[in-house]
């Protein structure tokens, strides 16, 4: 297949794996006209969250808010629930983020940048959102709670939410969905999940999805190798009826 220039590429949950991100970008080899987007969850779990945030802040075409950025923002914002949120965030990999910064101090410029991240990006024929949408309510009524955290209600949709947009998400590691093996993308009714579990010992794959050419770039942080696949070889379709509804 002849590739089209001016690619739009979406990168899945990096989770602090800066070296893996550099390996993936080497495989993608973006040109000046290419657009590179990030689906959120830049931080936590991996060893170099600070470097990931700085790189994305300086170089990405766009990035959306993930639930891990939201947890960090909730912690630093204080309030009655801050202590409870802090324990949840630290348990979910926040300690690795703190220790990736000199003196374990997250600079204000990184925090302010994360606070300003949008909860979705509409690219016309594609909607980028971290977790999905709540199929029971109109899009304009969706909040960060739905867009950053939802799982089963979205994955089990039996019809596309939009008639004219593909929804690209991260958040849920694809091999946790029924019938999907590590490294494979997951596809449902009107959506594709590209979080292939870069930090997870069962996978290690970080994914970049070229939505212009339906091509998938991947780099494995454990094996230190990359691969490039056409979308139809990289994705597994999900049966909505097999997703547990909550």
Answer whether residue 131 is part of any domain.
yes
Q: Per DSSP, which regions of 105-164 are E strands?
A: 120-122, 126-129
Q: Please report the pLDDT score of residue 246 as a whole number.
A: 41
Residue-wise pLDDT tens digits, 97-142: 999 999 989 999 999 999 999 999 999 999 999 999 999 999 999 9
Answer whether residue 186 is part of any domain.
yes
Answer whether residue 102 is part of any domain.
yes
Answer whether residue 1 is part of any domain.
no
Answer whether residue 196 is part of any domain.
yes
CATH at 219: 3.60.21.10
Answer whether residue 46 is part of any domain.
yes
Candidates 193, 133, 194; CA nearest to 160 is 133
In angstroms, rounded to a whole number, what is the distance separating the alpha carbons of residues 168 and 100?
29
Answer whether residue 2 is part of any domain.
no
String of DSSP letters for 13-40: --TT-HHHHHHHHHHH---TT-EEEE-S
Q: Which residues of the chain have pLDDT under 50?
A: 1-2, 245-246
Total domain count, the chain = 1
Answer whether residue 104 is part of any domain.
yes
Q: Please report the pLDDT score of residue 54 as a whole number.
A: 98
Q: Are 102 and 110 in contact (CB under 8 A)?
A: no
Q: Please report the pLDDT score of residue 238 as a whole number.
A: 93
The whole model's pTM is what?
Answer: 0.95
Q: Which residue range forms the structural domain that includes residue 130?
A: 8-242
Q: Please report the pLDDT score of residue 139 as a whole number.
A: 96
């Amino acid at each position: 297949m002849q590739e089209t220039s001016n690619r739009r590429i979406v990168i899945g949950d990096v989770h602090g794996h800066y070296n893996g991100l550099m390996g993936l970008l080497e495989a993608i080899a973006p040109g000046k006209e290419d657009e590179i987007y990030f689906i959120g969850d830049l931080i936590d779990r991996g060893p170099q969250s600070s470097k990931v945030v700085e790189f994305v802040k300086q170089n990405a075409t766009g990035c959306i808010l993930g639930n891990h950025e939201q947890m960090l923002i909730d912690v630093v914002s204080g309030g009655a629930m801050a202590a409870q949120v802090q324990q949840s965030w630290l348990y979910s990999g926040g300690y690795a983020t703190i220790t990736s910064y000199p003196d374990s101090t997250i600079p204000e410029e990184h925090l302010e940048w994360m606070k300003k991240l949008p909860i979705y990006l509409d690219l016309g024929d594609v909607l980028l959102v971290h977790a999905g949408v709540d199929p029971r309510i109109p899009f304009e009524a969706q909040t960060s709670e739905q867009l950053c955290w939802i799982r089963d209600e979205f994955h089990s949709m039996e019809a596309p939410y939009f008639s004219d947009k593909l929804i690209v998400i991260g958040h849920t590691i694809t091999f946790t969905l029924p019938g999907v093996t590590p490294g494979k993308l997951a596809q449902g009714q009107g959506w594709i999940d590209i979080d292939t579990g870069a930090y997870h010992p069962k996978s290690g794959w970080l994914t970049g999805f070229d939505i212009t050419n339906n091509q998938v770039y991947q780099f494995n942080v454990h094996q230190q190798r990359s691969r490039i696949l056409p979308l139809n070889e990289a994705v597994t379709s999900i049966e909505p009826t097999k997703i547990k509804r909550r």
